[in-house]
Amino acid sequence: MHTHEEDTRARRRERNAEWERRYAETDRFWSHRVNPTFADVAGPLPSGTALEIGCGEGPDAIWLAERGWRVTGLDVSATAVARARAAATERGLGEERVSFLTGDAAEALPAGPFDLVAATFLHSWEPDFPRIAILRAAAERVDVGGRLLIISHAAVPPWVRDPPAHVPAMRTPAEELPLLGLDATAWDPEIVEVRPRATHDPDGHPALLDDGVLLLRRRG
- DSSP of the chain: ---HHHHHHHHHHHHHHHHHHHHHTSS-SS--S--HHHHHHHTTSPP-EEEEES-TTSHHHHHHHTTT-EEEEEES-HHHHHHHHHHHHHTT--TTTEEEEE--TTT------EEEEEEES----TTTS-HHHHHHHHHHTEEEEEEEEEEEE-S--TT-SS--TTPPP---HHHHHHHH---TTTEEEEEEEEEEEEEE-TTS-EEEEEEEEEEEEE--
CATH domain 4-218 topology:
Rossmann fold (3.40.50)
Q: What is the pLDDT of residue 83?
A: 95
pLDDT < 70 regions, the chain:
1-2, 4-12, 16-17, 28-31, 123-129, 164-167
pTM of the model: 0.87
Alpha-carbon distance of 73 to 51, in angstroms, equals 6
Identity of residue 145: G
**Longest Cα–Cα distance in the chain:** 53
Q: What is the pLDDT of residue 74?
A: 96
Nearest partner of 145 among 186, 99, 110, 194, judged by Cα: 186
Q: What is the pLDDT of residue 137?
A: 95
Alpha-carbon distance of 69 to 61, in angstroms, equals 9
Q: What is the pLDDT of residue 75?
A: 93
Identity of residue 150: I
Write out pLDDT tens, residues 145-172: 999 999 998 888 888 887 766 667 788 9
Q: What is the pLDDT of residue 126?
A: 54
Contact in structure between 156 and 210 (CB atoms under 8 Å):
no
